[in-house]
Chain A
């Protein structure tokens, strides 16, 4: 009995130690990048271990003639637009599929596309998308990137909302209808306010996806002031470049908001990621 208790204790000490190691393995590489962002190039390139604090990388990134600030604004606009569209269209779609009994064939099409699109590698669609976007004159435009980000996140948003609404008390909608509310009113005033947790999971998840998106920004813009932040950073990653410090600083600018987000919205992120896992 006693040895059993001791074993339990040893196991839990082992658990805690392993957790410390895992946290270090995750955090140290990220911390290293942040540190490099505050170093001049000669310190990064040198063989020694000196860490002279320096803000020049950031001054260079945000200096005149650099598109970096513009690219951050682009990313913010793309993220905001994508979140708005995904929450709006996703919640309506999920609501209709869960509660309004659309014609079978229509529901089958919507569900089939939601299952198929997430498993196709986006790069496969890029040639077709490129032609579509150039026909619509959306190459190099923020609106184009908002629409593309929305398309690739919409299946997840719709399925998560569908999942939420099919578990919510449908009688509330029926009661609202009986009380004289219109179908739109029942959705906007009764059911949507009820779905705040699901909406915030969708919003946070799509925000992360849109902020991190790289492929569409790379292929549908010609870089520079048209591009999102991720493409701007990629432009700094050259095989023989000497702008290591600027590269690290730019990576830091992209990463830090997300790290901060995990502190404030960790629970919603886990909900979004695991629901995304279940539905994706």
Chain B
């Protein structure tokens, strides 16, 4: 409402003055860039001056990325190809070829951390997605509790991960945890989960699920509230059952939101570090040693700089390949669906 009124006025003014100002013709020959489809047919304001400002305006961003992303990545590449050691305050390195990259294949701990991370990512992502979506569907009729729910459910997503580690330590610590206190009150012997391989891994997945299911819930719940309720009504009048409505109307329209949540969760799970660093330090017996923890200990504890860098490069390659595969399959699926829809018509 606020937006449409000035749009009329300004576009008139723009058209009127266009001839007077005489915009450079070179802008016309440019193909329309993304995000301009609404006014792509109209001539764009700006000539050489705008182009200059565009370059100046992007300079800070590009400079930031050059100094703190591209240059460090170059350093990482160089480090992975050299034999680096610490000399006083600085580093000294000599060319080592691909020995570091070969060393990764021979390192049992590297391979184990990739395995542990894969298991962690698959479990944590699938559980949070299924649970978050199911909870959002089951609670879509919430009215009285909605405000409280929408506020409290934000807490895990915003509270400092370090504090979250502290609070779960206070619950599951074998010595002071309240869980053991509860068990003791009922005469059950206390657990030592954080000290066993399987127990620690399950706990780490559980804490991640507690931490991030609310985020999935929020994304899906927000999408649910956006679905036109007329759709339900129409289906209900047509005599469709609740289950049918959920399966064939609600879930399909949630697909984009669920895909976005899954992508986000995937990225986050691969990055996981804080909680495991504080709760288990990758142990016991490296059972929770995720790739981030492995790189951390290679670099800061073992001082194997080249090895840490080469392992990191492998991780980047894996992540990029997975991202491309995921993106590709999502588009492919979209295409298949689109053609099927056309065929049905």
Q: Are A15 and B316 in contact (CB under 8 A)?
A: no
Give the residue of A116, A126, A184 whose beta carbon is less than 8 angstroms from that of B53. A184
Chain B nearest CB, measured from A4 CB (Å): 9
A-chain residues with CB within 8 Å of residue B73 when the two chains form the complex: 125, 128
- Per-residue CB contact flags for chain B residues 18-31 toward chain A (1 = under 8 Å, else 0) read 00010000010010
CB pair A47 B165 closer than 8 Å: no
What are the residues of chain B within 8 A of A123 when measuring CB–CB? 271, 273, 291-292, 295-296, 312
Report if B319 contacts A (CB, 8 A): yes
Contact A132 to B6, CB < 8 A, known contacts A29-B167, A124-B315, A237-B278: no
In contact, A107 and B135 (Cβ under 8 angstroms): no
- Assess whether A263 is in contact with B151, with CB atoms less than 8 Å apart: yes
Contact call B154/A93, Cβ cutoff below 8 A? no
B267 near A280 with CB under 8 A, answer yes
Q: Is A269 within 8 A of B142, CB to CB?
A: no
The answer to whether A100 and B50 touch across the interface, beta carbons within 8 angstroms, is: yes
Known: A22-B139, A100-B46. A277 touches B65 (CB 8 A): no
Determine which of A23, A132, A269 lies in contact with B158 in the assembled complex, contact meaning CB atoms within 8 Å.
A269
CB <8 Å contact, A215 and B273: yes
Is the Cβ of A254 less than 8 Å from the Cβ of B50?
Answer: no
**Contact A16–B271 (Cβ < 8 Å):** no
Instruction: Name which residue of chain A comes closest to B294, CB basis.
Output: A123
Q: Which of B33, B146, B150, B308 contacts A101 (CB 8 A)?
A: B33
Please give, as numbers and ranges, the residues of chain B lying within 8 Å of A25 by CB-CB distance: 210
Q: A121-B270, A174-B14, A273-B215 are in contact. Are A15 and B68 (CB under 8 A)?
A: no
- The smallest beta-carbon distance between A143 and chain B, in angstroms, is 12
Q: Chain B's nearest CB lies how many Å from the CB of A171?
A: 4
Complexed CA–CA distance, A101 and B312 (Å): 36
Contacts of A168 in B (CB 8 A): 3
The answer to whether A251 and B167 have CB atoms under 8 Å apart is yes
The verdict on B181 contacting chain A, using a C-beta distance below 8 Å, is yes
Question: Shortest distance in angstroms between B51's beta carbon and chain A's nearest beta carbon?
Answer: 7
Chain A residues near B62 (CB-CB < 8 A): 106, 109-110
Stretch at the interface among A55-63, A146-154, A195-203: A146-154
Partner-contacting stretch, out of B101-109, B170-178, B328-336: B170-178
User: 7 shortest A-B CB distances, which residue pairs?
Assistant: A166-B35, A128-B72, A128-B76, A251-B166, A102-B54, A19-B145, A96-B57
12 of the cross-chain contacts (CB-CB < 8 Å) are A16-B143, A121-B270, A124-B76, A124-B292, A124-B312, A125-B312, A131-B75, A171-B14, A211-B160, A212-B159, A214-B160, A251-B160
